Structure 1
Amino acid sequence: MKNGRNIFLCFFLLVLMDWNTVCAQSVEKITIDGSRASNILTSVPFLLITPQARSGGMGNAGVAVEADANAPSLNMASMAYLKDGSYGFSVTYSPWLKNLTQGMSLSYLSGYYRIDERNTIAASLRYFSIGDVKFIDNNQQDLGIFNPNEFAADLSYARSFGPDFSLGGSLRFIYSNLYSAQFNSEGQSGTGKAVAVDVSGLYKKDGYFLGGPVIWSAGLNISNIGTKISYNIGDNPYFLPANLKIGTAATLVGEESKLIIALDLNKLLVPTQPVYDADGNIVNGSYPDRSVPSGIFGSFADAPGGLREELQEVGISTGLEFSFKERFAVRAGYNYQNPNKGNNNYLTLGAGLKYNVLSIDFSYLAGSINSNPLANTLRFGLQFSFDKRRATKYSKVN
């Protein structure tokens, strides 16, 4: 089962990295040929998938974009500026890596309630299904077909500190069931559990640009700061995919239309794997098996290639959204990773429709400059948004 676990982790890293560069590596040790390609290893990488269709159509950018019901997955702090008395929920579904396998999918359910003019609470559930997988042990014995899955449940809170600044946070429980608790000669393989938090902030300011009103905003979200995860089979625990996302957005407001231009930068806050010699000794880089705080703070200066390699670990997401009368929206975006750190580059497109309390969104990963396992990925989303004050006023009139 140990080899089976390595296969699983290598497979899940496809979510983040290019097929060829990832599978050339070993999960236990990075290759000894000095290659610096895609050598950041984490558990439960499904937590880094942007679950919402709106941001998916904007190249996964959105940490500084105005909130909707899906905002806890990007920046909970932005929900502090939803309409007073509003509440709603959303559901998103996406088939995942369908070019490689059938049955893998990501589902996301989120709901929120604006308590008063300063405070908002939210809850969400992320469920990642691997599909049917045939298990075989080291002796090539058939263990049967199972459906590995993972999920994360969040409770979130946001508070505004005036019209310009807000803070938010989430408490997350993570459950990873990759092995269906099967027994084998090496002992019992189990499920992985972990607890993590997100910390987010948003700053926005009204201004003018080209003679028209504009809202400038900047956002930050540090996600998945938590315990390591272990599968109770005697191996070292794995880092969660702690991630730093910072971004900015400009919202140009017209009489009947609105244009949003967004830019995000992303960096994993986990150790970069060092270079080993043929005997397994580190010849360049830092020891990767450290504490979570050391891994987070050390992630800014532990790359064997120095500052140049650290900068290569920063991914870029940029996107546009044009909406008309808050009823129809079209979106486009681009996601970039350095060729030595994933090489996961692609164009996205999206659209949205809104009627009364219902919003429908979808996004499409249109193409890439390389052979990308995420090509043709679709995300579908439904949102229902309600205004308690408006509903009360309407009932009194009638």
Structure 2
Amino acid sequence: MRKVIIAALIVLVSVVKLNAQDAPNPITTATPFMLIAPDARAGGMGDIGVATSPDAFSQHWNASKMAFNSHQFSVGVIYTPWLRELTDDVFLGGFSLVNRIDDRSAWGASLKYFNLGEIQLTDNNGFPEGTEKLNEFSLDGSYSIKLSELYSMGVSLRYMRSDLGIESANSSIQPVNTFAVDVSGYFQSEENNYGDFNGVWRGGFNISNIGPKVSYSDDGQENYIPTNLKLGGGFEFILDNYNSVTVNAEFNKLLVPTPSINIADEDQDPQYIQEDVGFFSGMFKSFGDAPGGFSEEMKEFTWALGAEYMYDDAFALRAGYFNESDVKGDRKYFTLGSGFKFKSARLDMSYLFNASDIGNPLENTLRFSLAFDFGDMFEYY
């Protein structure tokens, strides 16, 4: 029975990996919880955030946005139920903080905690043998500085811990402790007139989770962490003093080598073997190592579109769409969201509609995030 529980746990964790296991050439990583969109504002726009306007949750998407934050202090709190159709005790929670130091720089910190729930242990006869609580978390610190009035860059240092072992079952899975770095950039234009409306251009990139490979067991087998490239851009249509509409597009790619296909025997299923190269070399190798050539490489990019309507900086409506190749995971979903501002507080909500045959852990789930802005105001544009 213990083996069954451990197998079920592995299935649970694999749900949040980038690719489905029955894909032609799946890419899997350790600590996949780092790719979960934490806040409901981004969740309402198809999980887009690298080039949206700054907010309390900028650190996850693009830390360089913090230097453009409109308030001196911003604090965010997140809660995202996970696999709610199967269980009620798995969730992602945490908080984030942004502090503008001056007109040109800012620092931030955040904590993300992924609770995998309580595992009930039984022996081979079904008698209870206690419980185990499994979890993963990350702790971040970031610094952002404007290199000009329109462009900033940021760097983040991240500590991650993943504890998926069941001690009482004599599991060979060991806790993982590791560090990673993010490097990001953000562009935000001045507000310019375009005839009947004003507008602001935004663009950004973020290379996140740059760090060494890790091992969950004593046998020495190492796994890449989810080093990821985000590229995005958007335009805000400022219709008048009360109404604005923002549209955004974003592309993502895991900077992890694609496993090669090895068929040892015609009677056996193909096996996928990931070349043993260092994490830094693997980042560059990931752009040209797909066995299917350029066409397969392009399928390893995901893309998303999102839109946000804002009224008087007090009420927001959002929508988005996320797409992944059907041979690289087949995640496809629509999202809706809304936001309400009460003085210095903002409450955001989002909902996901699955558009794929592959189940989504956030299907039929309402996500929430809460943000607070304090202190002096800074010029936004």
- AA aligned to 1:213 is N
Cα distance in 1 for residues equivalent to 2:123 and 2:97: 41
Question: CA, structure 1 residues 161+169, in 2 after alignment: closer, same or farther (shift >3 Å)?
Answer: same
Cα distance in 2 for residues equivalent to 1:2 and 1:322: 50
Match status 1:231 vs 2:216: yes
With 259-268 and 141-150 compared, the bigger mean Cα shift is at: 141-150
- AA aligned to 1:322 is Y
Measured after TM superposition, the shift of residue 108 of structure 1 is 2.3
Measured after TM superposition, the shift of residue 193 of structure 1 is 0.6
Q: 2:30 aligns with which of 28, 40, 43?
A: 43
Alpha-carbon displacement from aligned partner over 1:99-139 (angstroms, at most 9, x marks no partner): 23331100120011111011101100000011112457999
Instruction: Identify the residue that residue 294 of structure 1 maps to in structure 2.
Output: 281
- AA aligned to 2:39 is Q
Measured after TM superposition, the shift of residue 6 of structure 1 is 6.3
Instruction: Identify the residue that residue 123 of structure 1 maps to in structure 2.
Output: 109
Measured after TM superposition, the shift of residue 61 of structure 1 is 1.1
Q: How does 1:111-150 map to 2 (within 5 A)?
A: 111-135=97-121, 144-150=130-136
Instruction: Identify the residue that residue 31 of structure 1 maps to in structure 2.
Output: none
Instruction: Identify the residue that residue 190 of structure 1 maps to in structure 2.
Output: 174
TM-score (norm 1): 0.86
Q: How does 1:353-368 map to 2 (within 5 A)?
A: 353-368=340-355
Instruction: Identify the residue that residue 381 of structure 1 maps to in structure 2.
Output: 369
* Cα RMSD after superposing both structures: 2.7
Aligned residues: 373
Unaligned runs of 5+ in 2: none
Cα distance in 2 for residues equivalent to 1:372 and 1:286: 26
Match status 1:201 vs 2:185: yes
- Equivalent residue of 1:239, what SS? coil
Cα distance in 1 for residues equivalent to 2:32 and 2:96: 20
Match status 1:12 vs 2:10: no
Alpha-carbon displacement from aligned partner over 1:122-178 (angstroms, at most 9, x marks no partner): 100000011112457999997642111000000011101121100011100000111
Cα distance in 1 for residues equivalent to 2:123 and 2:68: 52
Alpha-carbon displacement from aligned partner over 1:64-122 (angstroms, at most 9, x marks no partner): 111100110101111111236x1021101010111233311001200111110111011
Q: 2:151 aligns with which of 149, 161, 165?
A: 165
Cα distance in 2 for residues equivalent to 1:286 and 1:97: 30
Cα distance in 2 for residues equivalent to 1:227 and 1:136: 36
Cα distance in 1 for residues equivalent to 2:228 and 2:28: 13
Cα distance in 2 for residues equivalent to 1:227 and 1:139: 42
With 356-365 and 283-292 compared, the bigger mean Cα shift is at: 283-292
- Equivalent residue of 2:33, what SS? helix
- Equivalent residue of 1:132, what SS? strand
Cα distance in 2 for residues equivalent to 1:380 and 1:359: 11
Instruction: Identify the residue that residue 156 of structure 1 maps to in structure 2.
Output: 142
Question: CA, structure 1 residues 210+103, in 2 after alignment: closer, same or farther (shift >3 Å)?
Answer: farther
Cα distance in 1 for residues equivalent to 2:8 and 2:181: 28
CA contact (8 A) 1:276 1:282 kept: no
Instruction: Identify the residue that residue 300 of structure 2 maps to in structure 1.
Output: 313
Task: Calculate percent identity across the aligned residue pairs.
Answer: 36
Cα distance in 2 for residues equivalent to 1:117 and 1:231: 44
Q: 2:339 aligns with which of 321, 328, 352?
A: 352
- Equivalent residue of 1:303, what SS? coil
Cα distance in 2 for residues equivalent to 1:44 and 1:285: 20
Q: 1:330 aligns with which of 311, 317, 342?
A: 317
Cα distance in 1 for residues equivalent to 2:122 and 2:35: 29
Q: 1:176 aligns with which of 162, 166, 178?
A: 162
- AA aligned to 1:127 is Y
Match status 1:67 vs 2:68: no
Question: CA, structure 1 residues 199+140, in 2 after alignment: closer, same or farther (shift >3 Å)?
Answer: farther
Cα distance in 2 for residues equivalent to 1:260 and 1:370: 30
Question: CA, structure 1 residues 225+138, in 2 after alignment: closer, same or farther (shift >3 Å)?
Answer: farther
Measured after TM superposition, the shift of residue 16 of structure 1 is 4.1
Question: CA, structure 1 residues 340+117, in 2 after alignment: closer, same or farther (shift >3 Å)?
Answer: same
Question: CA, structure 1 residues 283+329, in 2 after alignment: closer, same or farther (shift >3 Å)?
Answer: closer
Cα distance in 1 for residues equivalent to 2:123 and 2:28: 23
CA contact (8 A) 2:108 2:142 kept: yes
Question: CA, structure 1 residues 305+177, in 2 after alignment: closer, same or farther (shift >3 Å)?
Answer: same
Question: CA, structure 1 residues 283+328, in 2 after alignment: closer, same or farther (shift >3 Å)?
Answer: closer
